[in-house]
């Protein structure tokens, strides 16, 4: 992992995103990211949603991969009538107005296909509007499929979610991109926590003395602040504690690759002080690929495949965990 600590101020607006209070009717929001394209994020997002929709839960997928939206194809919906572009190009439109039913019962889609050029990087106010309206949708679960990379939009959708899932495959580039993504998520949240607590001066001083203090990681930074100002350090740690991403290692081919998840869990604990939950491995399965070619979810085309069995278990485990406390 790279050990620099980029705590410079961003140039785009950084006002806190909406964090509505949790009510009994608040949907559970899932975000699936990981930094690198081609690791199976969209396939996993779509099939997780199918698992819960098939169990009678009202589910929606938000395809937030605006540069390469493809969830509609994965769920057998060739040409969505409305997309996110309509939310901003047509006056008075709301998210609930652009949800379209899919061939899977109880599953609807908010598509990012045919996105306008400017929608590939929506303005801060547009992103706020999407996130605020997500919390008010009358459904049980919302699944957000994030695009590749670590743009602020992907980070903020990830941070807004109750259930944060990272997907990696056992290749050096995927693992490196996953660390970059998690690092960007961490610093995005840390910057906002520092702003909220008015701790910028203390952080600047600590960073100015990072060699003297032995600060080589975010974990070291918070430990240093805690020694200097215990109440502030405790508050900063509390602000960061809701960040608890879960990890899926996809497309496993060898027994040796099974070790990647536990290794990444240890690395995240050592560098960030984060407890990343390792959810398990999904073996490489040609039937998952065949389902994509068939334009059907693997859960429906091959419900007893190794891919479907592993992802069904992971999804049910996550869905059973409590959530709340936004």
141-146: strand order across its sheet:
100-101, 107-110, 59-64, 141-146, 28-33, 163-168, 246-252, 277-283
Look up the CATH architecture of domain 28-166+283-320.
Answer: 3-Layer(aba) Sandwich (3.40)
- The closest alpha carbon to 216, from 228, 206, 226, belongs to 206
pTM, to two decimals: 0.87
Give pLDDT tens digits along the chain (326 positions).
Answer: 544 455 543 434 444 444 444 445 689 999 999 877 788 899 999 999 999 999 999 999 998 876 667 888 999 988 888 888 888 777 788 899 999 999 999 999 998 766 544 455 566 777 788 888 998 899 999 999 997 777 888 899 999 999 999 999 999 999 999 999 999 999 899 999 999 998 898 889 888 998 898 988 888 888 999 999 999 989 998 898 888 899 999 999 999 999 999 999 999 998 888 889 999 999 999 999 999 999 999 999 999 999 999 999 999 999 998 876 34
Q: Would you list the domain boundaries of the chain? A: 28-166+283-320
- Rounded to the nearest 10 degrees, how much is the dihedral formed by the CA atoms of 30, 35, 287, 66? 70
Q: Tell me if residue 142 falls in helix, strand or coil.
A: strand
């Amino acid at each position: 992992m790279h050990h620099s600590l980029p705590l410079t101020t961003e140039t785009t607006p950084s006002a806190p995103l909406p964090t509505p209070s949790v009510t009994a009717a608040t949907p559970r929001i899932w975000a699936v990211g990981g930094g690198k394209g081609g690791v199976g994020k969209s396939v996993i997002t779509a099939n997780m949603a199918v698992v819960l929709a098939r169990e009678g839960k009202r589910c929606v997928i938000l395809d937030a991969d605006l540069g390469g939206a493809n969830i509609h194809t994965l769920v057998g919906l060739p040409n969505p009538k409305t997309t996110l572009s309509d939310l901003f190009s047509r006056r008075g439109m709301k998210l609930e107005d652009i949800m379209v039913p899919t061939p899977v019962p109880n599953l609807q889609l908010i598509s990012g296909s045919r996105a306008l050029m400017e929608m590939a990087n929506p303005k801060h106010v547009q992103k706020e509007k999407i996130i605020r309206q997500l919390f008010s949708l009358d459904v049980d679960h919302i699944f957000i499929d994030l695009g590749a990379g670590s743009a602020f939009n992907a980070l903020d959708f990830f941070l807004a979610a109750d259930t944060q899932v990272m997907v990696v495959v056992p290749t050096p580039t995927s693992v490196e991109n996953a660390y970059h993504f998690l690092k960007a998520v961490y610093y995005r949240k840390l910057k906002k926590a520092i702003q909220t607590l008015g701790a910028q001066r203390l952080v600047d001083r600590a960073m100015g003395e990072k060699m003297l203090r032995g600060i080589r990681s975010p974990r070291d930074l918070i430990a240093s602040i805690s020694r200097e100002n215990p109440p502030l350090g405790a508050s900063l740690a509390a602000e960061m504690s809701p960040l608890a991403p879960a990890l899926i290692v996809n497309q496993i081919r060898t027994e040796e690759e099974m070790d990647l998840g536990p290794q990444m869990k240890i690395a995240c604990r050592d560098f960030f002080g984060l407890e990343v939950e390792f959810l398990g491995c999904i073996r490489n399965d040609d039937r998952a690929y065949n389902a994509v070619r068939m334009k059907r979810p693997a859960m429906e085309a091959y419900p007893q495949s190794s891919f479907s069995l592993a992802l069904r278990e992971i999804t049910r485990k996550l869905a059973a965990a409590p959530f709340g406390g936004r």
